[in-house]
Amino acid sequence: MNEMTSLERVLATMTHKQPDRVPVFPILLLHGAAELGMGLEQYFSKGAHWAEGQLKLRDKFGHDCVVGVPHVVQDITAFGAEVMYWKQGPPSPGRMVIHSWKDVNQMTVPDPYAVPELVETLKAIELLAKEVKGEVPIIGAAIAPFSLPSMLMGTERWMDLLLFEEPAVRKEVMGRMLEITLDFCAAWSNAQLAAGADVIVLADGMASAAVLTRRQFIDLALPVVKAIVPRIKGNVVHEGVGHLYPMLDLLVDTGILGVILSHLDDIAVCRKIVGDKLALIGNLNNIEMLRWSPEKMAQKSREAIKDNASCTGFVLSAQGPEIPLGVSDEVIRAMVQAPRDWPC
Amino acid sequence: MDKGRSQRITSFYQKTISDDGRPDQQVAAYHERFFDTLANMDASGARHVIDEAIEAGIPPGTIILEVFCSVMERFGEMQANQEITLSEIYAIAKIGQATIDQLMALLPASTHKSGTVVIGTIVGDFHGMGAKIVGIFLRMAGFEVHELGINVPSTTFVDTAIEKKASIICASTLLLHTMDQIRTIHDILDERKLTNSIKLVVGGAPFNFDSELYKTVNADATAINASDAIEVVSRLMEAM
């Protein structure tokens, strides 16, 4: 088979056709700063920086994607939340913006084009599109509407609302909250697609089997997934940020293209559950790989490819959100090399 | 799970409460009903079962040991085996806390405690559920627990531990990079020559994803869940 471009390779596997080899996505949101010789806060201040960082990283490693978003918490800036920067990792929320249910009633849906941080992301995607559109998949991302509230009010408060609040209050506050996050997520995702993103990853950290029971997922999270996916005018991948296999069958008919799996998901089991209806992306342990050798990475990558049993419907990647800074270039190279050494 | 771990909660109450009854059929039925209500995250149902047991004349000490403790330990085992989710164990911990407060109010006040612990989620991290759950379970196992909440600076952990005469600091994080702040807790303890009198236990997703990671932040131990935290904290205190 002739060598495919990264986009052809990814499109083939995502649509369950035979690619020339398994595509590989090492999600590198942080490593680009060093390529540009700058600290993370400066790196994250301009879309032009991380667009350049993404391109340099792809030139260096030869993987099959570029990522248009800088980090996972940028969405909360649209709601007035502060972001706290760190020297060795991605930013984290500086404070919560919802302190009472009254705050929810006073919220409005932010316009992504009016939020400076998000505008930088759109610039980055546009720059990436200018350079690699049509050859390399450009990945966009948004916090899923069901999980975004936990980043605005804290996981405990969100869980208290879902589990312990009076039904009438829960219905009203949860309804209003999800109305806002659904509208925002749709607008934000579509803005990224319009700027040139090829796919939107919906990060739904409160909706995995680590957090919710299957029943809770059906009652609380699944309706939100079903509501948001049709509103996004492009390809959508779901990321549970935790294991998903107990509810994977429920995601098959939601309109998503694939799922990002946790290292606790068994790829072979997941493949049996979804058949050829969803692509599987994952599922290397991004924390443990901090102390992997290149040989160990090669072995783990091969095992993941082998577990999928074929080259179709699978992208070799790590569980989210990103590969930590301490993972060496040699280890990343071993991951990118594995599909080349393990042909279809 | 080893027997010692699963019975840590019971063993604390055995030191202060006399088990007046036997685990007869009636008590066993309350155990099962209490378990079911918690499994369904039904707070009012759990309260109803305990009220009914009290009204039926079952001694509070028996209810604590044979109903409450044994049910909580069952859930601890289920969490260790990944048979229940975070939302379930969170609800169970909150309902369990209310239940034990209700039952202990029926008993003479006791000054006995297992030890003192300071717990919180490190600065930069607003994911407080894990630490909250562990704090509740530690309290149920007889520890005096001082909860610091979320986004807690490293110095606050140490200052509070000194002020409250705690021998254990439990620091939680969901985020890999805020681990550096946990390392700072150790550095402060080291600077103040407190590493022998105050031990550092860490928890949270990164430490669960890599069982060796706690060593990189110079922690004394890690706990993978609430019942494991009881075991780890107890073991460290016994060794001090």
Residue A314 and residue A293 in contact, taking contact as beta carbons nearer than 8 Å:
no
Q: What is the pLDDT of residue B18?
A: 56
The answer, yes or no, to whether residue A96 has pLDDT greater than 50, is yes
Chain B positions contacting chain A at CB under 8 Å are 41, 43, 85-88, 90-91, 94, 124-129, 132, 150-151, 175-178, 180, 205-206, 209-210, 212-213
pLDDT, average across residues A268-283: 95
- DSSP alpha helix (H) spans, chain B: 3-6, 8-16, 25-39, 43-55, 60-62, 70-80, 86-104, 129-140, 154-163, 179-191, 205-209, 226-239
> How far is CA B52 from its chain centroid?
26
Rounded to the nearest 10 degrees, the angle between the axes of helix B43-55 and helix B86-104 is 30
CB contact under 8 A, A163 and B41: yes
pLDDT tens figures, A217-253:
999 999 999 999 999 999 999 999 889 999 999 999 9
The answer, yes or no, to whether residue A320 has pLDDT greater than 90, is no
End-to-end CA distance of chain B: 24
More confident residue, B149 or A138: A138
Residue B41 and residue B92 in contact, taking contact as beta carbons nearer than 8 Å:
yes
Dihedral sign of CA atoms A112, A114, A120, A126 in order: positive
The percentage of chain A sitting over the pLDDT mark of 90, rounded to a whole number, equals 88
Gap between the Cα atoms of B229 and B240, Å rounded: 17
> What SS3 class is residue A127?
helix
> What SS3 class is residue A203?
strand
Q: What is the pLDDT of residue B7?
A: 66
Q: What is the pLDDT of residue B111?
A: 63
Rounded to the nearest 10 degrees, the angle between the axes of helix A329-341 and helix A294-308 is 40
Residue B227 and residue B80 in contact, taking contact as beta carbons nearer than 8 Å:
yes
End-to-end CA distance of chain A: 10
Chain A residues with CB-CB distance to B175 below 8 A: 89, 92
Q: What is the pTM of this model?
A: 0.88
DSSP single-letter state for residue A71: -
Test the B interface: residue of A287, A289, A292, A322 with most B CBs within 10 Å? A287
The answer, yes or no, to whether residue A212 has pLDDT greater than 50, is yes
Residues of chain B below pLDDT 70: 1-9, 12-23, 109-112
Q: What is the pLDDT of residue B109?
A: 66
Q: φ and ψ at A280, to 5 degrees?
A: -110, 135
The answer, yes or no, to whether residue A14 has pLDDT greater than 90, is yes
The encoded tokens of residue B169 equal 């600091």
Tell me the β-bridge partners of A106: none
Chain B residues with CB-CB distance to A162 below 8 A: 87
pLDDT, average across residues A90-110: 92
Min Cα distance B24 → chain A (Å) is: 33
Greatest mean pLDDT among A86-100, A270-284, B127-141: A270-284
Q: What is the pLDDT of residue B4?
A: 42
- Poorest-confidence range of A180-189, A310-319, B131-140, B160-169? B131-140
Q: What is the pLDDT of residue B59?
A: 86
Q: What is the pLDDT of residue B168?
A: 97
Gap between the Cα atoms of B198 and B117, Å rounded: 10
Q: Which residue of B has its CA nearest to A153?
A: B126
Gap between the Cα atoms of A62 and B90, Å rounded: 44
> What SS3 class is residue A117?
helix
pLDDT, average across residues A288-314: 93
DSSP single-letter state for residue A238: E
Q: φ and ψ at A234, to 5 degrees?
A: 180, -170
Residue environment code for A208-241, b if the CB has 16+ CB neighbours within 10 A, otherwise e:
bbbbbbeebbeebbbebbebbbeebeebbbbbbb
